[in-house]
Structure 1
Amino acid sequence: MKHFDLSLYLVLDPDLCGGPEGMIHTARVAAEHGATMVQLRAPTWKKRLWLETATVLKAVLDPMGVPLIINDQVDVALAIDAAGVHVGQSDLPIEVVRRLVGPNKIVGLSASNAAQMADAPFTLVDYLGVGPVYPTGTKPDASPVIGLPHFAELMAAKPLPVVAIGGIKQGGAAPIIAAGADGVAVVSAICGQTDIAAATTLLLQEIEGARS
């Protein structure tokens, strides 16, 4: 049985975190202070660095019960026995991903509009990453910004648990949770912050406040 909590989903960025060591440090501190899932995303890296960093991240996060999700690199996820993988619309098809990782891994899929959400193979996907909700600078190839009003419309018909992504900073998480998201995925709101612990704690408080 897959158990995961999308509430505060940290996406690690090599540039903002200051390379592999910074990513590992960021993940550790964030997990200690309430991050519920961590994704390794490093589109420009060679596979060896992916493998080495993911191996350490898994060793750090497993004892805390925080799932490590690998972005796109299914082979790396399998090599280190990560909790799951996240893929975009132009990555390996979900049917192939699920066949490779088996039934027990977490599989996430990016979606940026109603058509992509409706087309998601619901029996094969565990959650959707929907965005960008706000303008973002950490993903140059991001889809057009959805905006909060349209995001709320999408949430009214969501077929799966949803984590929102895209430009989410402190103060921007509560409206997203109020709109119906199950969690928020953040990059620069934690990566590169001078006080990672405080940044994580404040975001989690904001999310929990919006729910109550």
Structure 2
Amino acid sequence: MKSDIDYSIYLVTDRELMSSETLEEAVEQSIAGGTTLVQLREKTSDSLEFYNTAVRIKRITSRRNIPLIINDRVDIALAVDAEGVHVGQTDIPAAVVRHIIGDNKILGVSVSNAEEAIKAERDGADYLGVGAMFATDTKTNASIVTIEELARIRNNVSIPIVVIGGINEKTVPLFKGTGINGISVVSAIIAAKDITVAAKKLKKLFEEIH
């Protein structure tokens, strides 16, 4: 059931940042540390490489009963029967994606203000990725979302919110009382020397503010 999804520790992959030998190891270690959702993001892969990677990651997430979300590529998500897809403001419109994937798949949409959030919910999003909350090396051109704007978004939508962009041990406590449903993490987990320990620490921090 989509209503049962735990968004608390949401890993977004980045093979250029990972500390492990393979992406599969990174995902395994992250799940072992408490990651509850995995988004496969492959910005530089060709379609076949993305598909083959998705097949391998889906085996891991299915075995561990963790939902797999595919970034941008609706075709890859459907091809590997991933649990969902995540799109940004410059990707295929959320309403069109919802029509393609049907009602049973998870649809996430990146937003940076209340207006985008309201539209995304209306267009069928199951959750929102709000950010970038802080400056981050993974998205150098992203505009920063203030805590005040996050509050506006929270007040205008009823679907889960996951914050992204510069989320780490230092910044997680700043979200206490904001009503977010999860933290979306890239480098603070995947680039850590010990991925499992990093995920565990972030999970504990999130539980403390939640």
- TM-score grouping bracket, smaller chain normalisation: over 0.9
Q: How does 1:48-127 map to 2 (within 5 A)?
A: 48-122=48-122, 124-127=124-127
Which portions of structure 1, spanning 4 or more consecutive aligned residues, are displaced by more than 4 angstroms? none
- Counterpart of 1:14 in structure 2: which amino acid? R
Unaligned runs of 5+ in 1: none
Other structure's SS at 2:95 match: helix
Q: Deviations over 1:32-79 (max 9, x none)?
A: 111000001111210111111110101011121110100000100011
**Identity between Structure 1 and Structure 2 (%):** 40
- Counterpart of 2:191 in structure 1: which amino acid? G
Structure 1 residue 184, shift from structure 2 partner: 0.5
Aligned to 2:10: 9
- Counterpart of 1:185 in structure 2: which amino acid? S
Measured in 2, the distance between the counterparts of 1:38 and 1:122 equals 24
Name the stretch that deviates more: 21-30 or 129-138: 21-30
State the TM-score, normalized to the length of structure 1: 0.92
Coordinate RMSD, CA, aligned:
1.6
Asked if 2 retains the 8 angstrom alpha-carbon contact of 1:126 and 1:160, the reply is yes
Asked if 2 retains the 8 angstrom alpha-carbon contact of 1:117 and 1:159, the reply is no
- Counterpart of 1:162 in structure 2: which amino acid? I
Aligned to 2:174: 175
Asked if 2 retains the 8 angstrom alpha-carbon contact of 1:164 and 1:176, the reply is no
Aligned to 1:187: 186
Structure 1 residue 149, shift from structure 2 partner: 3.7
Asked if 1 retains the 8 angstrom alpha-carbon contact of 2:54 and 2:80, the reply is yes
Measured in 2, the distance between the counterparts of 1:97 and 1:177 equals 32
Name the stretch that deviates more: 173-182 or 59-68: 173-182
Asked if 2 retains the 8 angstrom alpha-carbon contact of 1:130 and 1:163, the reply is yes
Aligned to 1:208: 207
Other structure's SS at 1:205 match: helix
Measured in 2, the distance between the counterparts of 1:88 and 1:134 equals 18
Structure 1 residue 140, shift from structure 2 partner: 3.2
Q: How does 1:28-67 map to 2 (within 5 A)?
A: 28-67=28-67
Structure 1 residue 123, shift from structure 2 partner: 5.8
- Counterpart of 1:190 in structure 2: which amino acid? I
Measured in 2, the distance between the counterparts of 1:46 and 1:123 equals 29
- Counterpart of 1:201 in structure 2: which amino acid? K
Other structure's SS at 1:190 match: helix
Measured in 2, the distance between the counterparts of 1:98 and 1:154 equals 21
Unaligned runs of 5+ in 2: none
